[in-house]
Amino acid sequence: MGTSEQWLAWLGMATVISPVALLLLLGTSMLAGLRASELWVGQLTRAAVLIGLLATLGVLVLMLVTGVRYVPVGLGDWVHLGGTGHEFSFHLKFNFDRLSVPFTILVFVLCGTISEFAQRYLHREAGFRRFYLLYALFLAGMVVSSLAGTIETLFLGWEFVGLSSAMLIAYFHERRGPVQNGLRVWAVYRLADAAFLVAALAMHHLHGHGDFGHFTGVGPWPDGRADLGAGPAMLVGLLLLVAAAGKSALVPFSGWLPRAMEGPTPSSAVFYGALSVHLGAYLLLRVNPVLQESWIVRLLVVAVGLATAISAAISARVQSDVKSALAYASLTQVGLIVVEIGLGLNYLALIHIIGHASLRTLQLLRAPTALRDWQQIENAIGPESPVRDGRLGEAAPGWAAIAVYRFGLERGFFDTLLDRFLVAPLMGLFRESDRLERIWTDWLDRRPSRESDLAELHPEGEGE
């Protein structure tokens, strides 16, 4: 291995290790009961983000200087099973290429910005250290997802992002609303993760491993060609589309997005304005060679993106709070990005992600002070008449304008559909599983079940 290859490998490892080390240090300090100061937490986070950013920039510079467009950094096979006709291997691997390096730089820049903002925004907040622990979990998940070279590595980072997302939505756990909304989002993520896991199993069944370098074609992104037929490509592509739709709140999973705004403003900005909401689109970019093998999947990707952009644009125009309006405005752009991916405009989609994520982060961070400034202006000069920026009511018949307004006000009815057909059945299944588990464990312990305990505590007719 030459000197440049060694430097690329070392810098690549530093990129991955820095957020993981931050997560381990913050987690260990909390488990040990140490009351780390806000200054120490902030400086440690700043150092980890800066090291990761400089290492990724070093990889980019070396790639440009040496002309290398693909740098794999592997940590070996963790599981390898041989069999008759099929082999299974779990390989922990990270890829540095034209897609992952710009996206990882974006992750470090925006997460660093959010960290500096949160140190002041959450100053003396009771959950300051808990926020930064979940923030470190999210940062590690985003870096692992961005650089993943295998489907298993991507799934690991994908789960980190989902877990930190649901827990930060329920950050204000003393209130019932944030906890309920965190559970709703977690239920949608479970469906997306199930589709992702089935796609990973299909990839292993077809190739014996989940290495993107073989599955999506050997060569630098996006020039690779998938080694799949039209049938397997359609199956895997549809499963990954469901996974991406759940993670990025695409139609029909858009209903959970406004509920995710229950978390603190810093997490709302980095999750649903900048990075997490684009992770589904990033997944589609990574597996774009698979999508290109099936025109049906490409058509569905374009259709889902268009439906998401249109419905989100209508919903954004009738929201009464700024965070929901910005969330739907962000979702409109994500839908357009998905359309670009379906049309094969890969570089345009990547540039669109970087520009939109940066803009939306600044808008969400500025939103609280913008509202305060607007209130001060109103107090000084009095409320002005609202400006009508829409022309729908003038261009369309009255019944059509009312129908579209109702569609936007109800957020496309996706929230109701998710509650009825996804969240409620899953929560019912979990409650039933919990009840059966309690019966089983109570029988093993030879203790009365919870129902009999309650009956003893509250005999029938008592208190009447």
Residue 457 confidence (pLDDT): 47
Q: Which of 212, 372, 207 is nearest to 290 (CA)?
A: 212
> Residue 81: beta bridge partners?
88
For residues 57-64, give the mean pLDDT: 92
Residue scoring higher pLDDT (251 or 34): 251
**What's the whole-number mean pLDDT along residues 438-445?**
82
Q: Which residue has the higher pLDDT, 410 or 309?
A: 309
**Quick check: 428 pLDDT over 60?**
yes
pLDDT at 239: 94
Residue type, 116: E
> What band does 140 get if pLDDT is binned at 50, 70 and 90?
very high
What pLDDT was estimated at residue 87?
61
Residue 81's pLDDT is 65
List phi, psi (to 5°) of 81. Answer: -120, 125
Angstrom distance (rounded) from CA 48 to CA 112: 9
Q: What is the mean pLDDT of the segment spanning 52-57?
A: 96
219: left (phi over 0), alpha (psi -120 to 50) or beta: left
Q: Is the pLDDT of residue 390 over 70?
A: no
pTM of the model: 0.85
The predicted model gives 415-442 an average pLDDT of 82
Cβ pair 148, 154 in contact under 8 A: yes
What is the tens place of the pLDDT at every residue in 174-229?
A: 888 888 888 888 888 988 999 999 998 888 887 767 778 767 665 677 777 777 77
Average pLDDT over residues 257-262: 83
Question: How many whole angstroms separate alpha carbon 282 and alpha carbon 353?
Answer: 9
pLDDT for 86 equals: 60
Does position 454 have pLDDT exceeding 60, yes or no?
Answer: no
What's the pLDDT score for residue 327? 87
Model confidence at 131, in pLDDT bands (50, 70, 90)?
very high
Instruction: For residue 348, give both structure tokens.
Output: 């345009």
Q: Among residues 456, 104, 453, 132, which one has the least CA distance to residue 264?
A: 132
Residue 108 has pLDDT above 60, yes or no: yes
Contact 180, 124 (CB under 8 A): no
Arithmetic mean of pLDDT, 90-104: 88
pLDDT band at 464, cuts 50/70/90?
Answer: very low
Weakest mean pLDDT among 5-19, 197-211, 286-300, 435-449: 435-449
Question: Residue 158: pLDDT above 90?
Answer: yes
Query: What tens digit of pLDDT does each residue of 306-352 get?
Result: 999 999 999 888 888 888 888 899 999 999 999 999 999 999 999 99
DSSP output for 165-209:
HHHHHT-STTSHHHHHHHHHHHHHHHHHHHHHHHHHHHHHHHHSS
